[in-house]
Structure 1
Amino acid sequence: MGIGQRASTAQRGSFQRATLLQEGSANTVDLLQSGSGNQASVGQDGQDNQASIVQDGMEQRADIDRRGSLNTARIEQYGREGSARLRQSGNGKNATLIQHQGR
């Protein structure tokens, strides 16, 4: 819990799992995974938070769940058989979901 905290994680390999939780305002999450069968999950509660998940490989799963206002979320997946879920509640939200298949 706090203000202006930053969490960054990079994982390479197969069947990696990352879960990041933040509470407060002006927090940032950057999560990068490459390989296959990886899972990423971000939970944020507060205002003006940012979350980004980038995954490269097959059978990736990404989830962003957040509550609050003025939050920004981005999930980008490269590869085949990826699944992504973005859930946001509150006001003034921005979300981007990009899936590049066939790599």
Structure 2
Amino acid sequence: MSVWKLMLLAAATIVATAPVAAEPGGGTPPVEEIAATDDRGAFIAQIGATNRASIEQDGSEPYARIAQNGDDNRAEVRQRDGGNHYAEIGQMGDDNLAAILQRGNGANVLSLLQAGNANQVSISQSNDGTVYNAAVISQTGQANSLALVQDGQDNQASLTQNGDGNMMSATQTGDANRLAWTQDGNGLSDLQIQQSGGSTLQIQQTGAQGGGG
């Protein structure tokens, strides 16, 4: 089963909606964590200085969305057990940090955008090997750092970094792996890619080599 085109569409959607997703009025309450059960979604929107957001969901068909527009953004999503996990994260400026864990016996789908300043993201997706893991990640602006691990069947990832000190690594374990790796501008990392099983790889690097270490 392929979700490649659907994931690219999801990435375009989060790019379009993340800057305006937070509620008007200058900010939201300091929500620290929202838990969700089967067939339930959670949405956190934050504008303003020291944003912290965490969503933890256990069970099937959970949906998580975090939108942060403002300074010291931190976002964490943990989706475990059951199947068919979906998550979207949009962070717009400044010191963005995101950590995502998706683990279960169904599909895992992630769309993430970081735009501005010290972007850092860590992703772990794993399933029982009968469905797919899919991730579309985009980082734009200064010190971009990205680490992806996918374990299961039909792993699919599109990773894009534009600007400044880019560092990226990707590990895909299982059958039918597909990875698109794009870096543009300034520091380009050495290729840190590990794939096992049937694999397809597309790489594009434009700009100075080695700035990301």
Structure 2-normalised TM-score? 0.45
Tell me: higher relative CO, structure 1 or 2? Use CA pairs within 8 A at least 6 residues apart. 1
Alignment deviations for residues 37-86 of structure 1 (CA, whole Å, 9 cap, x no partner): 11011100011110111010012111111111111011101102211421
Displacement after TM superposition at 1:4 (Å): 2.1
User: Percent identity of the aligned residues?
Assistant: 30
Q: Residues 16-55 of structure 1: matches in 2 within 5 Å?
A: 16-24=119-127, 25-55=131-161
Within the candidate set 43, 53, 67, 2:173 is matched to 67
Structure 1-normalised TM-score? 0.90
Q: Which residue of 2 aligns with 1:101?
A: 207
In structure 1, C-alpha distance between the alignment counterparts of 2:158 and 2:168, rounded to whole Å: 10
State whether structure 2 residue 192 is matched by structure 1 residue 85. yes
In structure 2, C-alpha distance between the alignment counterparts of 1:101 and 1:76, rounded to whole Å: 11
Q: Which runs of 5+ in 1 are unaligned?
A: none
Q: Which residue of 1 aligns with 2:92?
A: none
> What residue identity is the alignment partner of 2:113?
A
**SS at 1:6 equivalent:** strand
Is contact 2:157–2:180 with CA below 8 Å preserved after alignment? yes
Q: How many residue pairs were aligned?
A: 101
Displacement after TM superposition at 1:8 (Å): 0.8
In structure 2, C-alpha distance between the alignment counterparts of 1:94 and 1:52, rounded to whole Å: 12
Alignment deviations for residues 81-100 of structure 1 (CA, whole Å, 9 cap, x no partner): 2114211112x111111101
Hey, which of these two has a bigger chunk of strand by percent?
1
Q: Which runs of 5+ in 2 are unaligned?
A: 1-102, 209-213
In structure 1, C-alpha distance between the alignment counterparts of 2:202 and 2:192, rounded to whole Å: 11
- Could you list the structure 1 runs, at least 4 aligned residues long, displaced by more than 6 angstroms after superposition: none
Within the candidate set 158, 163, 188, 1:57 is matched to 163
Is contact 2:155–2:172 with CA below 8 Å preserved after alignment? no
